[in-house]
Structure 1
Amino acid sequence: MSHRDTARALIEQHGTTYAEDAGIRLDDKPAALWQLLVLSLLLSARISSDIAVAAARELFDAGCTTPERTRDTQRRSLIAAFGRSGYRRYDERTSTQLHGLADKVLDDFSGDLRRLHEDCDDVPALEEALQEFTGIGPAGAAIFLREVQGVWPDVTPYVDGLAAKGADRLGLPTVPESLADLVPAKDLPRLVAACVRAARDRTVVDGVRG
């Protein structure tokens, strides 16, 4: 199987982005970017990605679709949303972090993460800026940038260490530019998301190769 064939099979079987899983219609607009930041916070905790995605859906259903609405959502409502999704181990801490996240996005960027993008000259600057949010470390910043490259073209190709590990398991190139060459630009976030799944679950590799 050629690299292109492997990439195509990988996308077909596992190429749903985490934003899509969480019901986020990702575009370069304030609400969608905020929702991606929330998802990145949840996914970076030591908890399964399925539970993190379910928690994001519950939070959005509870009204946390913008920083303003999240800031105005009472703590007990956030904890209840976490409980419904099974995201219980970190519910109280993450509730505090969500309110802090909303405050910072509102105070520093007037609720619009496009301003953060404009303030950063390159990808390392974006990684650093994202990590200034409480609860967003290197893993959270990588999650955000892997997904947002679909709407922030200057971030492309973004392939972090976890995605590269999955690509390597599949016998695909780990150099970002070489991996990106295997698919149309619009499909790169899907390919990278699938590579992350391959890094986390060897059955993904077996299924694609089998």
Structure 2
Amino acid sequence: MATQQQLVKTLLDKHGRTFASELGADLAKNTPAPLFQLLCLALLTSAPVQADIAMQGARALIDAGWTTPQKMRDSRWQQRVAALNAAGYARVDEKTATQLAELVDTLQSEYGDDLRGVRQRADGDVHEARKALKVFKGIGAVGADIFLREVQTVWSEFYPFADKAALTAAGKLELPSDAQALSKLVDRKDFTRLVVALVRTQLAKDFDSVRRAVERRG
């Protein structure tokens, strides 16, 4: 039977790349632009589309140069629709293009275009952080959790944070199904990667593959 440490190592090796890293958003800087890019990804992922399609859409926004709130504000609705559609983010491209405009307007009025204001408003309370993120139209509970799951690397007061998808996957692999207990299995620097690896396993329905990889390790 696989030990928890064997499972964790396999998860990190197989799926331990954060979504922010895949997007190219350097959260370690804790500066407005990468935080904004992560929020856009959270918005796109909140729609009823596959995670890889949401990632393609978020990358398309970056490729188009809309990497900051002001640059997004300067874009035209039809440009955003075309960029999302070309990236395969087709069914909800028009709705999302509108939501992106609303997002940057809210970001300006609520936080002066700096998402670090969410951190200040929450003051270490994860429930307040969720509430602050849900101010953005299109960001619900899932979107807020996506953002917090990734940003805990730099907003350390929210560590350890694991969302429902990660904890569901952990339970299926007989790992601890609460964030505090799960965090005991890895160094703090690897915790976000572990949580994301669990989410990726859940999305890919990859549990058997993970178990087989553990068995091959012996």
Is the pair's TM-score, using the shorter chain for normalization, greater than 0.5? Answer: yes
Residue aligned with 1:39, SS = helix
In the alignment, which of 68, 71, 78 is matched to residue 70 of structure 2?
68
Residue aligned with 1:24, SS = coil
Contact map agreement 1:36 1:144 (CA 8 A) in 2: yes
- Where structure 1 has 5 or more consecutive residues not aligned to the other structure, the ranges are none
Q: CA deviation at 1:200?
A: 2.5
Contact map agreement 1:169 1:198 (CA 8 A) in 2: no
Contact map agreement 2:121 2:132 (CA 8 A) in 1: no
Separation in 2 of the partners of 1:196 and 1:159? Answer: 10
In the alignment, which of 178, 189, 201 is matched to residue 181 of structure 2?
178
- Residue 163, structure 1, aligned to residue 183, structure 2: no
- Residue 11, structure 1, aligned to residue 16, structure 2: no
Q: CA deviation at 1:143?
A: 0.5
Separation in 2 of the partners of 1:21 and 1:84? Answer: 19
Separation in 2 of the partners of 1:196 and 1:116? Answer: 24
Separation in 1 of the partners of 2:60 and 2:138? Answer: 19
- Where structure 2 has 5 or more consecutive residues not aligned to the other structure, the ranges are 213-218
Identity %: 43
Compute the TM-score of the two structures, normalised by the length of structure 2: 0.93
Q: CA deviation at 1:86?
A: 0.4
Contact map agreement 2:173 2:207 (CA 8 A) in 1: yes
Query: Residue deviations 1:64-123, cap 9 Å, x none?
Result: 111111011111111111112100100010001001101111121111111121111311
Compute the TM-score of the two structures, normalised by the length of structure 1: 0.97
Runs ≥4 in structure 1, deviation > 6 angstroms?
none
Q: Which residue of 1 aligns with 2:26?
A: 25
- Opposite residue 180 of structure 1, the aligned amino acid is S
Q: Which residue of 2 aligns with 1:55?
A: 57
Q: Which residue of 1 aligns with 2:215?
A: none
Q: CA deviation at 1:207?
A: 1.5
- Equivalent runs, 1:1-210 vs 2, <5 Å: 1-27=2-28, 28-121=30-123, 122-202=125-205, 204-210=206-212
Task: Count the aligned residue pairs.
Answer: 209
